[in-house]
Amino acid sequence: MGPGVIGLWRHELRLFLRQPMALPLLLLVVLLSAGSVWAGLAEVAHQREVIARIQPQQAADVAAVAASAAADGDPGNAAYYTHHVTWDPPSDLAFIALGQRDVAPFVLRVRALALEGQINESETYNAELALPGRFDWAFVLTYLAPLFAIALLHDLVASEREAGRLALLGAMARSRRGLWARRALLRSGLLFAALTLPLIVGGLIANSGWALLGVIGLAAAYLAFWTLACLAAAWLRLGSVSAAAALAAVWLIVTLVLPGLALVAINAAIPVRQGVELTLAQREAVHGGWDKPKPATMAAFFRAEPAWRNTAPVRGGFHWKWYYAFQHLGDLSVAEPVRAYRAGLERRDALTRQVGYVLPPVGLQLALHRLARTDLQAQLAYQDRIRAYHAQLRRFYYGYLFTDRPFQAADFARAPRWPEPPPQP
Amino acid sequence: MISESSSPAVIALSGLTLRRGTRTVLADLTLQVAAGEIYALLGGNGAGKSTTLSVLLGFLRPDGGTVTVAGTDPVTAPDAARRQIAFLPESVALYDQLSAYENIAYFMALTGHEPTRGAMDGALDAAGLQAEARTRRVGGYSKGMRQKVAIAMAVLRDVPVLLLDEPTSGLDPRATADFNALLGRLKARGTAILMVTHDLLGAADCADRIGFLAEGRIVDEVRPADGIDVLALHHRYGEAAAA
């Protein structure tokens, strides 16, 4: 009676697990994967907790402004001193790949003043994390998993040849291809399981749902790539030491050197101004507004906001209408550089995606960040929502400013609210 | 000079030619081994002995000639041919982290068989491996003990063809005698046995026919049963090796 398919796999499993380094290696993968999942979940929980915690603080802040700065009913004071909180809650998959959420704000309090500076002022947030990146599951999969795949698979055939078993194995196996395929599948399958079991547990905790299947599919495809690379080394009949050295070199080139060179080339091909330069340009435009004649400022403002053209003219010295007009003109003055900045970032992103088609580690990172909604697209979408919200805020306050309506304490509650519900911590 | 067995051939090589680069390794090699026959192939280093086994196992593709193993062509159907063959390599390397039982179970599983513990004991008894060693990991085995595990696997295969590559090298005289006795039992079971060896005495002791291989072809063949003396055999082997 034959051993059957399951019997053959059972024999292969026992043989593999009896190897001295097999179990410790797999346990290390489980630990790294579990540690990265835990770190991701902890960071996501922290971000949710920050967003939830800011709600009562925001309410207290508005109440304080209502009680003091806006007590005289001046809408200019109310608009100037009131911060309005916005937030970008992490997705249920954000724990796998924190991406841009490390370096870009996920909470931003804005005022009805010039906006672009407020958005880009936060660009340096947590900058020390921008270079090494977070220890998240995407990092473990992209950079560490290939090394474990190489450790487990580099000598698949070479070890048998060097031990003198190759002829006996070849003579006894019903199918030699089947033998190597079974062994490669077993080793990469165990590695896959060690990587994804903590992920699945994390997904259940984070209630990630079916989207997790996409991540698992990507992990399977990525490990298949490295398994095929190891099989190529076997096909070339490399010795175990040569195979390990060659595969380590491939890992270095494919995951570090080429992506680094591609990044340098993309940045050189598409020069993009820093966000802080936009902030400075906008600040200079706003500050320059103090020195410009009021009629010219107001005429420019009314061209952009014609709805308020027929309201009472600005006379005398300081007036909040004039102040908010040159604040808005400050934004308009950098509108073109902002568009160019954004277009540059998107062009870089598009080129990086092209690179991702050629370099699996780059493609994997991009796909994981897209699934987790922690990529540049998600960051820009948050900025777009802030801009739309800021426009609502401006027009809300303009309604009082330009019609000379007093701003009462009860009016604070009428201010537009950030449209998204805060996440549950 | 080259004789054929009167029984139908289980192993049949005809006009086999194999070249590697400019070197001809096998040159018009013709050889037949019948069921229940032991054929010893003797030759010097590089004479083509191990290459012949590799062709029979389907590891190497010949440039010319025909080859069949129990009616199967290992060139066109290597997996099917190997299912008819038990092979004992010169240096038996097993998995050190497994016991004798586990090694046998693993290798037999590769062939599609799952022998019972009783069947394994029977084969290990026949091969002469002590019972107390069978559950120990083979990492601590001597060469002879490993050889016996491999022999047990060959016995368990119960296939029509047994190929042996220097089967008694490294065995002590007692183990060699035991091994030859085992070959006799397999022969009686109807197994066609082709062994390549340097061991003249062993070959003369157990083989039905001895072929002398030189430069890829059989240059002489004797039947020990015809009463040839070992010294003369030694001379002939030396001449063949020199050729």
With respect to residue A235, please indicate whether it lies within any of the assigned structural domains: yes
Buried b (16+ CB within 10 A) or exposed e, A30-65: eebbbebbbbbbebbbebbeebeebeeebeebbeeb
User: Which residues does chain A have within 8 Å of residue B112's beta carbon, measured at their own beta carbons?
Assistant: 2-3, 174
Partner residue facing B87 (CB), from A4, A164, A171: A171
Residues A44 and A176 reside in one and the same domain: no
Q: Is the complex ipTM higher than 0.90?
A: no
- Using alpha carbons only, give the angle A131, A136, A141 rounded to the nearest 5 degrees: 100
- Residues B39-62 have a mean pLDDT of 90
Q: Cα separation of A30 and A147, whole Å?
A: 14
CA distance B89 to A376: 61
Torsion sign (Cα): B51, B46, B27, B2: negative
Query: Same domain, yes or no, for A126 and A212?
Result: no
Note whether residue A17 is domain-resident.
Answer: no
**Quick check: A7 contacting B, CB < 8 Å?**
yes
Residue A16 lies in a domain: no
Whether residues A276 and A409 fall in one domain: yes
Claim to verify: residue A96 and residue A220 sit in the same structural domain: no
Residues A166 and A202 grouped into a single domain = yes
Residue B150's beta-bridge partner residues?
none
Report the chain B residue with the minimal C-alpha distance to residue A179: B110
Report the half-sphere exposure of A373 (CA within 13 A, side-chain side). Answer: 14
Q: A240 is in which domain, residue-wise?
A: 138-268
Domain check: are A275 and A381 in the same one?
yes
Residue A144 lies in a domain: yes
B39 strand-pairing partners:
B194, B209
Contact call for residues B123 and B153 (beta carbons, < 8 A): yes
Cα distance from B159 to chain A (closest Cα, Å)? 12
Q: Domain ends where: A268, A302, A336?
A: A268
Residues from chain A that touch B93, judged by Cβ atoms under 8 A, are 163-165, 168
In chain B, whose CA is at the least distance from the CA of A7? B109
CA atoms within 13 A on the CB side of A63: 6
Alpha-carbon gap: A178 to the closest alpha carbon of chain B (Å):
10
* Encoded tokens for A247: 């595969």
Q: Which residues lie closer than 8 Å to A126 by C-beta, 6 or more apart?
A: A102, A103
Phi, psi of A361 (to 5 degrees): -60, -40
d(CA A42, CA A45): 5
Predicted confidence pLDDT, tens digits, chain A (425 residues): 567 778 889 999 999 999 889 999 999 999 999 999 999 999 999 999 999 999 889 889 988 888 876 568 888 988 999 999 999 999 999 999 987 777 778 999 999 988 888 887 765 555 555 555 678 999 999 999 999 999 999 999 999 999 999 988 988 888 888 999 999 999 999 999 999 999 999 999 999 988 899 999 999 999 999 999 999 999 999 999 999 999 999 999 999 999 999 999 998 998 887 767 777 877 887 788 787 888 888 888 999 888 888 887 777 788 888 899 888 988 888 888 889 889 999 999 999 999 999 999 999 999 999 999 999 999 999 999 999 999 999 999 999 988 888 888 888 889 999 987 777 65
The residue among A268, A291, A323 that closes a domain is A268
Residue A251, φ and ψ in degrees, nearest 5: -60, -45
For residues A306 and A379, the answer to whether their CB atoms sit within 8 Å is: no
Q: What is the mean pLDDT of residues B158-186?
A: 86
Please provide the size of chain A in residues.
425
pLDDT at B126: 87
The answer to whether residues A113 and A241 belong to one domain is: no
Nearest by CB to residue A7, choosing from B114, B150, B153, is: B114
A295 shares contact with chain B (CB less than 8 Å): no
In a domain, A237, yes or no: yes
Same domain, A256 and A306: no
Does residue A327 lie in a domain region?
Answer: yes
Q: Is B93 within 8 Å of A19 when comparing Cβ atoms?
A: no
Q: Does A168 touch chain B (CB under 8 A)?
A: yes
pTM summary value: 0.86
Q: Are B95 and A168 an interchain contact pair (Cβ–Cβ within 8 Å)?
A: no
CB of A174 less than 8 A from some CB of B: yes
Instruction: Note whether B48 and B28 are within 8 A (CB).
Output: no
A6 in B contact zone (CB under 8 Å): no
Main-chain phi, psi angles of B20, to 5 degrees: -125, 105
B4, HSE (Cβ side, Cα atoms, 13 Å): 12
**DSSP-derived 3-state class of residue B99:** strand
* Shared-domain flag, residues A114 and A132: yes
**How many A/B residue pairs have CB atoms within 8 Å?**
77
- Cβ separation B111–A11 shorter than 8 A: no
Search chain A and give the residue with CA nearest B163: A171
Cβ-nearest to A15 among B79, B106, B108? B106
Do A295 and A276 have their domain in common? yes
Note whether A57 and A159 are same-domain residues.
no
- Where do the DSSP E strands lie in B114-191? 161-165
Per the structure, the count of domains in chain A is: 2
Give me the pLDDT at residue B4, please.
54
Q: Hey, which bits of B120-208 come out as E strands? A: 161-165, 192-197
Residue in A with minimal Cα distance to B94:
A165
Q: Do residues A147 and A258 both lie within one domain? A: yes
**What's at A120, amino acid-wise?**
N
Asked whether residue A6 is assigned to any structural domain, the reply reads no
What is the pairing mode between strands B192-197 and B38-43?
A: parallel
Taking an 8 Å cut-off on Cβ atoms, the answer to whether A172 and B105 are in contact is: no
Determine whether the interchain pair B110/A169 forms a contact, defined as Cβ–Cβ distance below 8 Å: yes
**Of residues B85, B105, B109, nearest to A171 (C-beta):** B85
Mutation pick from B94, B99, B110, B162 vs chain A, by most beta carbons of A within 10 Å, is: B110
Distance from CA of A221 to the nearest CA of B (A): 28
Of B91, B109, B112, the CB nearest to A164: B91
Q: Which domains does chain B have, with CATH numbers?
A: 1-84+160-243 (3.40.50.300), 95-158 (no CATH)
Residues of chain B found within 8 Å of residue A183, distances taken between Cβ atoms? none
> How far is the C-alpha of B196 from the C-alpha of A376, rounded, in Å?
69
